[in-house]
Structure 1
Amino acid sequence: MSSLQIYLQLAWLLILSALLLAGTGIMAGGSSSAAKKKKVPAIIVFGDSSVDTGNNNFIPTVARSNFWPYGRDFGPAGAGGLPTGRFSNGRLATDFISEAFGLPATIPAYLDTSLTIDDLATGVSFASAATGLDNATAGVLSVITIAQQLRYFKEYKERLRLSKLGEAGAEEIVSGALYVWSVGTNDFIENYYAMPGRRAQDGTVGEYEKYLLGLAEAAIREVHALGGRKMDFTGLTPMGCLPAERVGNRDDPGECNEEYNAVAKSFNGHLRDTVVPRLNKELPGLRLVYADTYDLLDAVVRNPADYGFENAVQGCCGTGLFEAGYFCSLSTSFLCTNANKYVFFDAIHPTERMYNIIADTVMNTTLHVFL
């Protein structure tokens, strides 16, 4: 055999080996990719202003925040911000949670027609500021009911199925997604305590609480029937310590309304100890968790300096005592210079920094089970 033939054979062997190695690499890469496939492919959100990323921008309601100073710190530092419809100076807790799961850093609003199904496939919010579990709560400011949010979810499922994802891809997203619920505060503050008609109809606050828990359970059951399996129902925060409720506390002006806080704790206790265990037992494949935010926000409000805050009594906007929504846009001359020093951005809603702390806490105490 000539030296040329030997050289050609060796060259061929080297090429063949390279091809085999490449093939092995491709196979290994595919296996590794499958192994690393996200356990949670999307975050799907239902609720109120605590998780509305802009749906109310697209409906006729005064419950909006798509204007300055909301979104002042949204986006890259120094970029000037962008009002998105989030009731905060920046991102919400669910945005940070999405990022913690390796998904996009912001969750889009379903009603934003500029978004494609690809934009929505990794997460979507159906939430609407000023809504509640009770349809009557949503009616106060003409916002999106939970029932309508669930109808949007059905529509979303169909859009996924009809897209390039197909039946299998849509099912993978729906069954693997984490469903986050954050709702209930408005039912008590905006409806039960503010509207005498609701109290006359439902009697004691305990009876109304029982009614709301029934609505929460029914909504969870509906999402389960539609294919949802991983769910988080976030408990109520100490709503009596919101700046707006402090200033409206006739019995002890300027202090937390402890009656409202007691209602939140009672609702949370029944949700945690009764509703969650029962549904996990009754619904096949369901993994429902209760995320506590009450204790965290209570601790921050009572000892803000321990968490690096300077003010937990007023919001950053205006006087910080009653302004929210459009009232914030009328009070920009009183806007604080550094929202990171404040627990609340307006008289009701937390700052981006507080939402980040909430997200970190919930991830470490509850949602890590889905990682």
Structure 2
Amino acid sequence: MGTEMFKGWLLILTQFLVLSSIVVEAKVPAVIVFGDSSVDAGNNNQIPTVARSNFEPYGRDFDGGRPTGRFSNGRIPTDFISQAAGLQPFVPAYLDPSYRISDFAQGVTFASAGSGYDNATSDVLSVISLWKQLEYYKDYRKKLGAYVGEEKASKTLSEALYMTSLGTNDFMENYYTLPDRRSQYNVDQYQHFLIGIARNFTKTLYSLGARKISLGALPPMGCLPLERTTNFAGDHECVQSYNIVALAFNDKLKGVVEELNKELPGIRLVLSNPYPIMMQIVRNPSLYGFEETAIACCATGMFEMGYACGRYNPFTCTDANKYVFWDSFHPTEKTNLIIAQRLLKTTLSEFI
């Protein structure tokens, strides 16, 4: 093993040990999550959609080696963040019948793979829209009140950390794939359309008692293996036009954060931005112990995700820790850990 790679592995080991050791008394009593496949822990298992990952080899590095519906070989960023907050080591899916309200007292995810800000995005794969996720949250509030009492539930919900991760599907699975939104908006107008939804959603959460809220920014969408695979003209490098859109959207989302922090008394709203660390990993993979950034671990690594990542595919890699991406759209557990660690040191540090 070369010196540079050894340093990369040492860095990852140090990050994991630090994250695992942060189990002091929790500053937040729960982590509550809305979003897409980046933070779905299995809600889609319970609805009729092809956007599922509750089969091998997904979850092969999760506790017990079991597929849960997480689009990764192991844990996702919100799992690591929950653990770092001194709570449970993973955030359970609200629709998973194996959990009860007692399991959701310290955290829950309403996220649905394939969802976005735009209702039209969730319609593409018949998944749970953001506003349906909000209805599930209202149902959760009632159940939590009945379980721990209204006073304690109200305190928990006002002090909990609310996290969102949305937007990638709005562009990659909707705007750039289907004609309807492109016929209505140019890309800048569509960004403003989505930003309006993000603003209204945040204000709705606030009206329901949420005060600590993290809005998730977009990753470098053009560097997803699927986009690189199809970028024939660009020699399979990152698609810069998609990355430019991600940066522009993130800047607009930052504006919402600044605006609402001034407008809403008592809110603590932050922007959790995975873009910089993801680009750093893609540009300098060896610093983190990675060997492959352009293709994923699952199957051929070029275009497969979901059911295309079947357990019997002979091409799936043996060591996911060498890969930045697990499938053509989603990071490996190791990448998720690095992202979570960076967010914990930056925007989430005031909460955890």
Question: Structure 1 length as normaliser, TM-score?
Answer: 0.87
Number of aligned residues: 329
Which residue in the other structure is 1:326 paired with? 307
State whether residues 26 and 87 of structure 2, in contact with CA within 8 Å, keep that contact through their aligned partners in structure 1: no
State whether residues 300 and 307 of structure 1, in contact with CA within 8 Å, keep that contact through their aligned partners in structure 2: yes
Which residue in the other structure is 1:166 paired with? 149
Which of the two has higher C-alpha Rg?
A: 1
Which residue in the other structure is 2:95 paired with? 111
Write out the 4+ residue segments of structure 1 that deviate beyond 2 Å after TM superposition.
36-39
Matches within 5 A, 1:219-230: 219-230=201-212
The unaligned stretches of length 5 or more in structure 2 are: 1-23
Which residue in the other structure is 1:251 paired with? 233
Which residue in the other structure is 1:195 paired with? 178
SS at match of 2:314: helix
What CA distance in whole angstroms lies between the structure 2 residues aligned with 1:195 and 1:62?
A: 18
Greater relative contact order (Cα 8 A, min sep 6): structure 1 or 2? 2
User: Given the alignment of the two structures, is residue 265 of structure 1 paired with residue 237 of structure 2, yes or no?
Assistant: no
State whether residues 39 and 77 of structure 2, in contact with CA within 8 Å, keep that contact through their aligned partners in structure 1: yes
Which residue in the other structure is 1:306 paired with? 287
User: Given the alignment of the two structures, is residue 135 of structure 1 paired with residue 123 of structure 2, yes or no?
Assistant: no
Structure 1 position 346, deviation (Å):
0.4
What CA distance in whole angstroms lies between the structure 2 residues aligned with 1:46 and 1:59?
A: 17
Note the alpha carbon deviations across 1:119-148, whole angstroms, 9 max, x for none: 001000000001110000000000000000
Which residue in the other structure is 2:10 paired with? none
Which residue in the other structure is 2:19 paired with? none
Which residue in the other structure is 1:241 paired with? 223
Structure 1 position 247, deviation (Å):
1.2
State whether residues 179 and 228 of structure 1, in contact with CA within 8 Å, keep that contact through their aligned partners in structure 2: yes
State whether residues 236 and 264 of structure 1, in contact with CA within 8 Å, keep that contact through their aligned partners in structure 2: yes
User: Given the alignment of the two structures, is residue 95 of structure 1 paired with residue 76 of structure 2, yes or no?
Assistant: no
State whether residues 90 and 351 of structure 1, in contact with CA within 8 Å, keep that contact through their aligned partners in structure 2: yes
For 2:39, the aligned partner's letter is V
Note the alpha carbon deviations across 1:95-124, whole angstroms, 9 max, x for none: 000000000001000001221111001000
Which residue in the other structure is 1:339 paired with? 320
Note the alpha carbon deviations across 1:278-317, whole angstroms, 9 max, x for none: 1111112110001121011011111111111000111001
SS at match of 2:33: strand
SS at match of 1:118: coil
What CA distance in whole angstroms lies between the structure 1 residues aligned with 2:80 and 2:307?
A: 26
State whether residues 55 and 311 of structure 2, in contact with CA within 8 Å, keep that contact through their aligned partners in structure 1: no
SS at match of 2:253: helix
For 1:297, the aligned partner's letter is M
Note the alpha carbon deviations across 1:20-74, whole angstroms, 9 max, x for none: xxxxxxxxxxxxxxxx863200000000000000000000000000000000100
Of 312, 329, 348, which residue of structure 2 is paired with 1:367?
348
Matches within 5 A, 1:7-22: none
What CA distance in whole angstroms lies between the structure 1 residues aligned with 2:116 and 2:242?
A: 16
State whether residues 35 and 165 of structure 2, in contact with CA within 8 Å, keep that contact through their aligned partners in structure 1: yes
User: Given the alignment of the two structures, is residue 54 of structure 1 paired with residue 42 of structure 2, yes or no?
Assistant: yes
Which residue in the other structure is 2:32 paired with? 44
For 2:137, the aligned partner's letter is F
The unaligned stretches of length 5 or more in structure 1 are: 1-35
For 1:40, the aligned partner's letter is V
RMSD (CA atoms): 1.1
Question: Structure 2 length as normaliser, TM-score?
Answer: 0.92
Which residue in the other structure is 1:85 paired with? 69
User: Given the alignment of the two structures, is residue 145 of structure 1 paired with residue 129 of structure 2, yes or no?
Assistant: yes
For 1:68, the aligned partner's letter is E
Structure 1 position 250, deviation (Å):
4.4
SS at match of 1:46: strand
Note the alpha carbon deviations across 1:320-343, whole angstroms, 9 max, x for none: 000000000166211101000000
SS at match of 2:295: strand
For 2:237, the aligned partner's letter is E
SS at match of 1:231: strand
Structure 1 position 270, deviation (Å):
1.2
Structure 1 position 252, deviation (Å):
1.4
For 2:298, the aligned partner's letter is C
State whether residues 108 and 119 of structure 1, in contact with CA within 8 Å, keep that contact through their aligned partners in structure 2: yes
Note the alpha carbon deviations across 1:239-298, whole angstroms, 9 max, x for none: 0000001112243141111000000000001111x1001111111211000112101101
What CA distance in whole angstroms lies between the structure 2 residues aligned with 1:82 and 1:191?
A: 31
What CA distance in whole angstroms lies between the structure 2 residues aligned with 1:347 and 1:97?
A: 24
Report sequence identity in percent.
55
